[in-house]
Structure 1
Amino acid sequence: MIAGSIALMVGLLTFFGVVLSLRAATKRMKTELEHSSLRALREREHSRDEASRDRQHSAEEAHVERIATMRRTVYLDAVADLVHTQTYLGGLAKVDITKVNVGEGLERFLVAVAKVAVVADQSASLKARSLASLFTVTLLKGLGILMPLIKLKGEVAFHDEQYAATQTEIKRVLAAMVHQNETRQQDLAAFAALQRSFEQQQALAATHSGKSVEAKLKLSDGEMQYGVALMTDMKAAAIQLDELACAIRLELGLETNPEAFKQQTAELHKQMDAAIQELQTRAAAMREQAAQ
């Protein structure tokens, strides 16, 4: 009996021990599952946040790249239009400004500047607008020099036309005189009239030739004055161009040394001044030679 009771107690203790162990194991597993679920939830939230940040970062990078691409296109177009405008202003002295709309020559550049003002940083935008204003003022100042040349061009055209007419008349008179000599049918009165006509046409030719040369010299002086004034304004524009170029290069993340631009521009200005001085000297020599 005692042995049976002991065995029963041992069995019960073993049973209760197993039950308690199972309960502890179940509780531990439940706790671990809860912790695992919490970790999984946190990892999912972290992954979702990372993915969201990655998408936002990619979107920001794409936006920045779109802006950079748009700016590069606008800037390159503006450079091309700037060169076109400089060439236009340089050749304006040879254009009949009574037959063209001189403002059209600046239109492309002004449109380009407007685009720069829209897409560029504020610093570059303000510099571009200042440069556009300088070119507009340069054109207006240039017109003040070129307008008096319209009259001179008209005088040159008139005297050259009259000179050509005298040469035609001289050839006609000489042909008539040669005809009389060759045919030996001389009419002294007619020949004398031809002689007077020849001398008259020669005098007219000399007059128109002289006046044409005089007008051309004045025209050349005016064109030279325009060229010098344009060069002076372009020197000022070069400084603003350097500032704009540096602002754009910095904006695009390109290596930029403003001092290097400044030094090179100063050297180019010296070369330009020397070229202008030499040109003026040669022009003065040509005027003296033509006046002799």
Structure 2
Amino acid sequence: MEQVLRPIYQERASQPNTLGVILVEKHEEKSNVTDTFDTVLLIIVKEADTPVFTKHYLYEDNKVALHTVTEKLLRKWLLIGSNKKVVDWIFFGKILFDRNEFLHKLKIELQEFPFNGRKIKTGIQFSKLIRRYLEGKEYFDKGSYLDAYNHVVDSLHHLGRLSIIDSGLYPEVTVWGQVKKIEPAIYKLYEELVTSHEPIEKRLELLFLASEFLIHSRTQDGARHIIEVMKKKEAWTIQELHDHSELVNYSVDLEVFVEYLVDKGFILIEPVIAKSEMIFHRHYKVNVDALL
């Protein structure tokens, strides 16, 4: 297949804007790492008008997908974990073109997972965990057990990814294989949730109790990144937090996360008088007495 696709990727490799080309082939019939395609060509470019551009090809009975992605979008995917298959493509795909060892350096970067990258990714994963846990608890209290179950499964996935990140590794697509080795206690919780014959209400009740302890024990690390950002000035409006270049990746989970940290005493509310003396703006600042 590489020989067949050579004219396609060589044309792009000759362009100075192209940083690297990766070939990923499906080796197992039921594997979905290539999104049902037989072959995937991933082309990383420095910049483009469209951050991701996709073409599909057909060769005899083989389906081929070509994705052209900007470096900026690729790094965003890697940071927030929104396109998990890309990690496997980078680690296990065949490098066909590598300008100035861009892909080689990227793989080393992912393997070593720099501390600052871990810190940001921990904060993002923790904020997602908080949202899913709180929403799941709300459904549970209302008696909507199937909706609660769905949220608990997601929250356990985020807990699992946090344990992998804490160990200095990068979460792969098959995250539970990693969690089983790194954090057996979380793996056991997940296993009990999905395989236990206990009534769903009982399973959820036990999981919420266990998750509460695990979340509490990780709050300090999970809050480290946002607290370090907020220490750079005295007080923040919520919009200023949304607009910050490092916090923008928290997206829709940011406000729930901030409220959680207010509740836990890491962030304090500073009322600032508005136009009406009866209404105050709600500003946020770090509680310096909360040691991180």
Q: Same fold (TM over 0.5)?
A: no
TM norm structure 1:
0.25
Q: Which has the higher contact order (CA 8 A, sep 6+)?
A: 1
If each structure's strand is expressed as a fraction of its own residues, which one has the higher value?
2
State which structure, 1 or 2, has the greater radius of gyration over its C-alpha atoms.
Answer: 1
